[in-house]
Amino acid sequence: MGTAFTPAKTSPGSWDAFSDVDAFVDAVLVELAAMAADGSLPTRSGPKPLLTGAALRRAIMAIWCVCFCGLQWRAIGLLCGIAFGTLYTLFARWTQVGLWRRLLDRLILVWRQACGDKPILSAVIIDSRSCQSASTCFTRGFDGGKKIKGIKIHLAVDKYGFPLAIDVSPANRHDSKGIVPVLHQLAGRGFKGTALGDLSYRGQRLSKVGEVLGITIQPSAGGHGGSFIPEGVRWVVQRSLGWISRYRWLNTIFERTEAHLVAFIEIAFISILSRRMVRLETQEISA
């Protein structure tokens, strides 16, 4: 992976995510229809009818509002007129069947194709971010370096900053250990190549784990004297971590399960990518 790459061109857009929230809703609806068609979305039986039409759109938008605005489930239930139990059950069910990961993978593939890239990657960039968590969070630890008590998010992203693998751990877990589940996820997706990271990913133990999985760990210095200096293409993962910091639910972590936290991280990136795809399509039509 070189340092120079040409992303697809999009029309200018601000970080006013509310202006493009319909793009997120539309993307989720398309994926739900595709999963229902191929049988990967099992039908639910029960006394309550399934949400459809405008009610389903409100429910999807409510889940997005929890992530972006940091609203509690009970609060968003009152605001959108749908019982919070119904909203949470929908979110949990869609998380269990893998909706968010599947949709994110599809959007990443479409974006890479729009940029003229092949689906197969030769390298990824790895890094982590420590976040404060509430006492009710599924796990907690103290990051002595950053003085943060909470959890740590581990990412492996492509050169555009979109995640191919995500994992979370207590904040006191060293990066060289916390990244191992991410490497296993990458190997499970068939990735064979180089993982670029900072010096926290040094060590023979991690190198051997990567070697077994067919992944070469390549650490390098990313700063000097406490300052951040961009190193090749490695800076894009820092931008990715900055992107998700705009989603308030991912700043102070309240989630009680690891799977649900990972789902909200995926939702944040789906929101970013779906907005980009709308601006890309708009530009192509107007060209």
Show me where the domains of the chain are located.
17-100+280-286, 120-256
Q: Which of 250, 256, 252 is nearest to 272 (CA)?
A: 250
Give residue-wise pLDDT tens across range 85-142: 999 999 999 999 999 999 999 999 999 999 888 888 999 999 999 999 999 999 999 9
The per-residue pLDDT for 120 is 86
- The counts of H helices and E strands in the chain are 10, 9
Tell me: pLDDT of 153 over 50.
yes
Quote the longest CA-to-CA distance of the chain: 62
The per-residue pLDDT for 119 is 85
Tell me: pLDDT of 225 over 80.
no
Beta carbons of 164 and 124 less than 8 angstroms apart: yes
The per-residue pLDDT for 224 is 53
Give residue-wise pLDDT tens across range 172-199: 999 999 999 999 999 999 999 999 999 9
Amino acid at residue number 59: A
Q: With the C-alpha atoms ordered 77, 82, 83, 84, is the resulting torsion angle positive or negative?
A: negative
The per-residue pLDDT for 22 is 93
Strand partners, 127: 155
Which helix (H) or strand (E) element contains residue 78? helix 73-80
* Average pLDDT of span 236-249: 94
- CATH architecture for segment(s) 120-256: 2-Layer Sandwich (3.30)
Q: Which two tokens stand for residue 182?
A: 């991410």
Beta carbons of 159 and 237 less than 8 angstroms apart: no
The per-residue pLDDT for 49 is 80
pLDDT band, very low/low/confident/very high, at 227 (cuts 50, 70, 90): low
